[in-house]
Structure 1
């Protein structure tokens, strides 16, 4: 019987400019650049297990380079790490302590963690474009609200908004091209068959579906952060709220889709039923958005077309 060899555990806290690394009881800091990362990776033993906190896009270079070298990567959600810190009685939060905590978390909780694997190229492109567009639209709204009352700026504001709209059009063109080049047009079409789901929401749903082999619709809902966090104790029923673990722009698009779907003949009665039960409008729309997600998952999983029928 072959003896299993324990893999070396590494914890990495990420910032835009630097990486703080905990390895074999020691902590070191390197620049967060491909050149520095490649030099550091040469010093590691083969097949290390690396825990790293998700931080926007700043962690992508190190996980991609480390994965290419054959190391096993575990990306830890920031909220999960924060809860783990509290559970261990940690009183300090520094880059060095976080790197050490990541290594400890991986060493003790590895069985419950999922190993990172590179997403398809189309996933990364769609995600980046959707996030860039969201930032652009948010900026447009802020500018319009801030400057629309200034008459002396009206002409310049109109020109600026026109330029922003041109950028939005360009981003949406790149989204369509990415979908076409990746052979995802049929999946997008299936999602768009759903009431309230337009191009952007369909792109977001297909993007999320690309990320993993989800066991069922519950797993897909959880990936999007639309599952419910339950906090009950004894006879006390805690307040339910979304976990919000997934991509925030996808959730926003799905909420907008639910706002449109609730006005359709298919979903109007269902939506009103939730309101009649005493749910707030936001709660009802979130539930409706979750129903749309489950149907979209089934359509993409089975590669079947949507047939509208009275909702149950």
Structure 2
């Protein structure tokens, strides 16, 4: 999407208590309190249909993003790691909130044709993503407590009660997940994904949640959204080691990795996994490849609305 000549370009650096704004037309920096009433007043003062670039944060950017979109502005949410590389690429050494706001405006002005305007996600997407991440936090906390208290006999009874409480909370989360999936009419898609070896209800839910966020034309876009695409670094005859971009949701990737571990032990996927080990790859590398393969299979099933038919000839790929 290319910025129109008439559009005012605005860069916004977001923090918990305030946002720092840079307007390119005025070359002016403004500090605004990160409160809905103050943000609303500031957004109303902007020219109609402004182009606003914000760096993605955990949650602090959401109010500004949602209200700006509702008021008709074009909003672009920029990945922080991408912005950092852009800063280094143009030789900016310092980093302040004001400089970051100006950098966001410059990035949007120069790279707008490669960026996509933000659109609000479906309600179910936001809810499911939040619950999956909170469940993951609960599981990590349970494992940490269990390990740190296991050698203390005086706390054995208290630990058992506490773990039972956490287990009940996890069951409640899964119950709510199932309810949201049902209300969003996603049951068929989740069931379709669960038919694949190694894919449980949580990974299937994550796969469908990611699928509903964007209009992906092919599996490459879906893989990139998950952050499971490899970063290629090649120059001349030198081909450096490749790493995942990890730009998507980390919990989605973790669930796919867990499914790959389970799938690698199944008759359908074990030969596929071992074929990469036979090439000299390490177990982690082969597991990442298998996880990415599973994601592509699930995408094909959801995109084509087809049913899973494993075939040893294709290493577990669906025949659609």
Query: For 1:179-210, what per-residue CA distance to the aligned partner results, in whole angstroms no more than 9, with x for missing partners?
Result: 00000000001110111000100010000001
Quote how far apart the aligned CAs of 1:82 are: 0.2
Q: What whole-Å deviation, never above 9, does each CA across 1:225-280 have from its counterpart, x for those lacking one?
A: 11110111122111111111101000000000000001111111111111111011
TM-score for both structures, normalised by structure 2: 0.94
- The answer to whether 1:41 aligns with 2:35 is no
* Structure 1 spans left out of the alignment, 5+ residues: none
* 2:162 corresponding residue in structure 1: 160
1:115 positional shift: 1.0
Equivalent of residue 198 in structure 1, options 169, 192, 200: 200
Q: Could you report, residue by residue, the CA deviation over 1:134-158 in whole angstroms, capped at 9, with x for unpaired residues?
A: 1111111111122221111212121
1:208 is aligned to 210
2:147 matched residue in structure 1: 145
The separation in 2 between residues aligned to 1:49 and 1:245, in whole angstroms, is: 23
Q: Secondary structure at the match of 2:54?
A: strand
* Structure 1 residue aligned with 2:235: 233
Helix, strand or coil for the counterpart of 2:39?
helix
Distance in structure 2 (CA, Å) of the matches to 1:159 and 1:184:
35
Among 107, 117, 122, the alignment partner of 2:124 is 122
Counterpart of 2:7 in structure 1 is 7
How many residues align structurally?
309
Cα distance in 2 for partners of 1:105, 1:133 equals: 36
- The answer for the alignment partner of 1:54 in structure 2 is 56
SS of 2:223's equivalent? helix
SS in structure 2 of the partner of residue 116 of structure 1: coil
What does residue 187 of structure 2 align with?
Answer: 185
1:106 matched residue in structure 2: 108
Of 288, 305, 308, 2:307 maps to 305
Which runs of no fewer than 5 residues in structure 2 stay unpaired? Answer: 316-320
Structure 1, 272-281 or 144-153: larger mean CA deviation: 144-153
Spell out, residue by residue over 1:74-104, the C-alpha distance to the aligned partner (whole angstroms, 9 max, x if none): 1100000000000111111111111110001
SS of residue matched to 1:274: helix
Displacement, 1:34?
1.3
Q: Distance in 2 between matches of 1:186 and 1:255?
A: 23
Corresponding residue of 2:17: 17
What is residue 70 of structure 1 aligned with on the other side? 72
Alpha-carbon separation, structure 2, partners of 1:138 and 1:31? 35
- Secondary structure of 1:278's counterpart equals coil
* 3-state SS of paired residue (2:29): strand
CA–CA distance in 2 between the matches of 1:267 and 1:278?
Answer: 18
Q: Distance in 2 between matches of 1:33 and 1:299?
A: 43
Equivalence map 1:218-257=2 (5 Å): 218-257=220-259
Distance 1:58 1:147 in 2: 35
Q: Which residue of 2 aligns with 1:132?
A: 134
Partner Cα separation in structure 1 for residue 124 and residue 111 of structure 2: 31
Distance in structure 1 (CA, Å) of the matches to 2:85 and 2:6: 27
1:5, distance to aligned residue in structure 2 (A): 4.6
Structure 1: which 4+ aligned runs deviate by more than 2 Å? none
